[in-house]
Amino acid sequence: MVKASESRYHQCIYFSSNALARKIEKLAMESWKKLGLAPSHAYLLMLVLEEPGVQPGYAAEELQLSPSTVTRLLEKLEEKKLVVRTTEGKLTNIYPTPKAKELYPQMKNCTREFQEKYQSLINEEEASRLVKSINRINDQLP
């Protein structure tokens, strides 16, 4: 693999940001694999575990995903019997199943493992600066 800093597009945030996201995604996938969950599924499920009854729209905001993506993720989590949705009028509430509750401690472990994994690869201080900087810029973007 050509180093990012050697690619002809190294100065372009389009490539840098995409490449970073894909690499981090892959790292996260490794950590969550043992539970058979993709990172996005896992984080959504953790949100549901931490706030039972949470609504899809709120989850979408928290996870910075579109509502439709959250619907799709929920379909998968429901198939796996990890959440149930109850609809009252126009509102939907999402609840974790007992199976999901049992999984929670292992999920916390995966989170920790992921943090450890990427902090072993990246200088911790630089990583933390980077995240702050990315967040600041995310807030400036539409």
Partner DNA sequence: AATATTTATTTGCATATACAAACAATATCT
Partner DNA sequence: AGATATTGTTTGTATATGCAAATAAATATT
Site residues, a second copy (CB under 8 A): 1-5, 7-28, 39, 43, 47, 61-64, 114, 118, 121-123, 126-127, 129-131, 133-142
Give the amino acid at 58. Y
Q: Using the rule CB under 7 A, is 83 a contact of DNA? A: no
Round to whole Å and give the CA distance between 123 and 30. 20
Q: Which does 56 bind (CB under 5 to 8 A by kind): DNA, a second copy, none?
A: DNA
- Give the position of tokens 């690869």: 121
Q: Check residue 80 for interaction with DNA (CB under 7 A).
A: no
Which of 17, 30, 68, 133 forms a contact with DNA (CB under 7 A)?
A: 68
Minimum CB separation from a second copy for residue 92, in Å?
Answer: 19
Q: Transcribe 60-128 into DSSP letters.
A: HHHHT--HHHHHHHHHHHHHTTSEEEEEETTEEEEEE-HHHHHHHHHHHHHHHHHHHHHHHHS-HHHHH
Interface with DNA, residue 26, by CB under 7 A: yes
Size of interface with DNA, in residues (CB under 7 A) = 31
